[in-house]
Amino acid sequence: MVVTYEQALSIVQERISGANPLPPIESVALDQVRGRVLAEDVTADRDLPPFHRAIRDGYALSVADLTAAPAVLRCVGEVAAGRSFETEVNSGQCVSIMTGAPLPAGADAVVMVEHTRSVGDEIEIQRGVQRWENVVLQGSEASQGARILPRGRRLQAGEIGLLATVGKATVAVYRQPSVAILPTGDEVVPLEQRPQWFQIRNSNAVTLAAQVNSAGAVPVQLGIAADRKDALREKIEQGLDADLLLLSGGVSMGKFDLVEEALAELGAEFCFHGAAIRPGKPLVFGRVRDLFFFGLPGNPVSTFVTFELFVRPALALLGGAALEPPIFLRARLAKPYRQKSGLTMFMPARVWIQNRDPVVELVGWQGSGDLVGIAAANCFLVIHHDQTELAAGDWVDIMPREQ
Ligand code: AMP
Ligand code: MG
């Protein structure tokens, strides 16, 4: 069964979510959690901010004293960030305050220092302010006990900063899924080996490992399988205790494309054979002995693109995260484009900014084997199956090269 891009993605999502793969939980130091998936709901241990916080340098005062600006107030003290104090602001008074300091009792606004002038210990306030202007109220970002990060959230720099704010020095995260990588093909030789003229270096294994790493999972290299069913079966069996198996090559219609047959002999169930996309049409997805697998086409660009389209979201789910489907952005097409393949196309392209608009143009490439083309690209131009005729300047979808 050949499915559309959208169908393929929803099959992957449904099948993996249906298997409910919640990985074991481990406790990890905060400086090691980037890219990991949170395994607990995290709550604020105190109000955020913990006090009414000044966000400008200036004078704390009561707006009731500023009904007619300019007004002259007497400065009765100073509060700096990081110092405790007992100063209060009474009628006719103000207090010099620094960014990050708590607002003194009796004050309900801060006037920026730029809008004041000091004359001895009197301060002329030259502008009126709204109540709570230049102040962030205690608990307004989150109140103590509120959930600030949900289980299943992938932790990036912003989330890590928030975890530090609430004092989480160690965090419960899901164990990273392990991904067995199995390149196939009689012509494929290891990097260490000097290829003969008819041989090809195994680039897919390292590309996939880099993508697996960036998806927060751990690659496990199985070595190269020859185009023989017994060799394939043996290597596949070595990968069965991983959390996901990625095969590359051997899924097309050639005489030596034996990956599907080898998987079938091991009792595999196939959820789809082929997707209406280019590159990547021969892609297969299924399950063998409780292990999900993708048979990715061997062409390096096909392998790369099908990973981004389907494997990365699959790894999010297998790692305990919410689905992270590829996000398409929009850009204007630099040159007209026509197609009648009926496929959803993902072609290496470059996007740049011209007159404040993103503009996208295909890079020259020789088809799905061309990693030189990928390296020249910074995105993929996405042409949907029903977009047959596009003019220069039309808005189109693009997918960032790596999410
Ligand atoms: P296949 O999908 O097996 O028909 O392979 C398609 C193309 O991808 C062929 O030109 C292969 O030589 C190439 N290819 C397959 N596996 C790899 C690999 N691991 N690294 C680089 N190129 C590969
Ligand atoms: Mg092959």
Residue having the nearest C-alpha atom to atom 15 of ligand 1: 298
What is the pLDDT, as a whole number, of residue 12? 98
Ligand 1 centre distance from Cα of residue 398 (Å): 26
Q: What is the 3-state secondary structure (H, E, C) of 51-63?
A: CCEECCCEEEECH
| Nearby residues for ligand 2 (ion, Cβ within 5 Å) | 185, 249-250, 298
Residue having the nearest C-alpha atom to atom 9 of ligand 1: 299
Q: Quote the pTM value.
A: 0.93
Residue having the nearest C-alpha atom to atom 23 of ligand 1: 298
What is the pLDDT, as a whole number, of residue 276? 97
Residue 361 CB partners (closer than 8 Å, separation 6+): 333, 334, 335, 349, 350
* Beta strand spans in 244-385 (E): 244-248, 269-273, 277-278, 284-288, 291-296, 329-333, 337-338, 344-354, 357-362, 379-383
- 132 in Cβ contact with 108 (< 8 Å): yes
What is the pLDDT, as a whole number, of residue 121? 83
Nearest to 19 by CA among 285, 239, 267, 287: 287
Residue 161 CB partners (closer than 8 Å, separation 6+): none
Residue having the nearest C-alpha atom to atom 5 of ligand 1: 298
Residue 397: helix, strand or coil by DSSP? strand
* Residues 356, 402: Cα–Cα separation, whole Å: 23
What is the pLDDT, as a whole number, of residue 20? 81
Minimum-distance ligand 1 atom for the alpha carbon of 299: 8
Q: How far is CA 151 from the centre of its chain?
A: 16
Ligand 1 centre distance from Cα of residue 258 (Å): 13
- 248 in Cβ contact with 188 (< 8 Å): no
What is the pLDDT, as a whole number, of residue 91? 96
- 174 in Cβ contact with 152 (< 8 Å): no
Nearest to 226 by CA among 251, 196, 250, 191: 250
Residue 154: helix, strand or coil by DSSP? strand
- pLDDT digits 0-9 by tens, 53-91: 999 999 999 999 999 879 999 999 999 999 888 889 999
Nearest to 133 by CA among 116, 109, 115, 107: 109
**Pocket of ligand 1, beta carbon within 6 A:** 183, 185, 187-188, 200, 202-205, 248-250, 252, 254, 257, 297-300, 369
- 334 in Cβ contact with 392 (< 8 Å): yes
What is the pLDDT, as a whole number, of residue 403? 65
What is the pLDDT, as a whole number, of residue 210? 97
Q: Which amino acid is at 201?
A: R
**Nearest ligand for residue 298 CA:** 1
* Residues 348, 376: Cα–Cα separation, whole Å: 8
- 360 in Cβ contact with 373 (< 8 Å): no
What backbone torsions phi and psi does residue 5 show, to the nearest 5 degrees?
A: -55, -50
Q: What is the full per-residue pLDDT of the chain (403 aa) written as tens digits?
A: 789 999 999 999 999 999 987 899 999 999 999 999 999 999 999 999 999 999 999 999 999 999 987 999 999 999 999 988 888 999 999 999 999 999 999 999 999 999 999 998 899 999 999 999 999 999 999 999 999 999 999 999 999 999 999 999 999 999 999 999 999 999 999 999 999 999 999 999 999 999 999 999 999 999 999 999 999 999 999 999 999 999 999 999 999 899 999 999 999 999 999 999 999 999 999 999 999 999 999 999 999 999 999 999 999 999 999 988 899 999 999 999 999 999 999 999 999 999 999 999 999 888 887 888 889 999 999 999 999 999 999 999 999 987 6
